[in-house]
Structure 1
């Protein structure tokens, strides 16, 4: 596995992948970049780095990368459903449960969402409470709030 750190406006994000796929895009609490960008990185990892950069600059609304997510079939279903929430929009655990035709699995959807290893790209930050309030986010609510505001600002340009 190859790693590179992307220094974003909301902290350092660690990208892990191989030539075939991206496995992990996670927030870190690092103060400094530990894994630097180099041309010797696999193309998929370089592409992920570039696409994250474009996202944060407001130039990219969707990601186009190969991924390998390890989880149960149910988790896989939930994670894929996250990708259906459009840029700048939000949804709820209930919306995801309904979209995967498991209306009563709201808590299980929340649990699966919390195990998402591909932050931002599988946009779990777009999930809010049915009341419209921000709900938990593995990266911290302040990051979730920043990401939602960022997308809203880009959509309103």
Structure 2
């Protein structure tokens, strides 16, 4: 259900583009209730065909990406909207992703959240967040800015391909 909900909410968004998700394929697996097919898709996306969804962290990460760790479910079925709007949530997620105290796991989660929140922003809000991110990156230490340079370039490419 979470994968189907994410597919319906995020098809054609920066989230789908950034992660290279084929939400049509995900929807087909969900409609068929093909859990084994979903697990295979996650393993293939992780570059670990044949690995288990329950034991391989990279495969589990792909399941989190495809299902948004249930964020889409909360938005669609529970009507959750952040107090500061999606733009504010995206800014907060970027701040968390670039914070000094973050672990690799918390940074990855914050970056996924950034993408999710950006996906729900309208075009003007998304542009505003990206401009704000540029200003924040300019103030980061050189090492931190270098670490996020590639993901940020990928984000810009994904955002440019969305209306």
TM-score using structure 1 length: 0.31
User: Higher relative contact order by CA 8 Å / sep ≥ 6: 1 or 2?
Assistant: 2
More strand by share: 1
More helix by share: 2
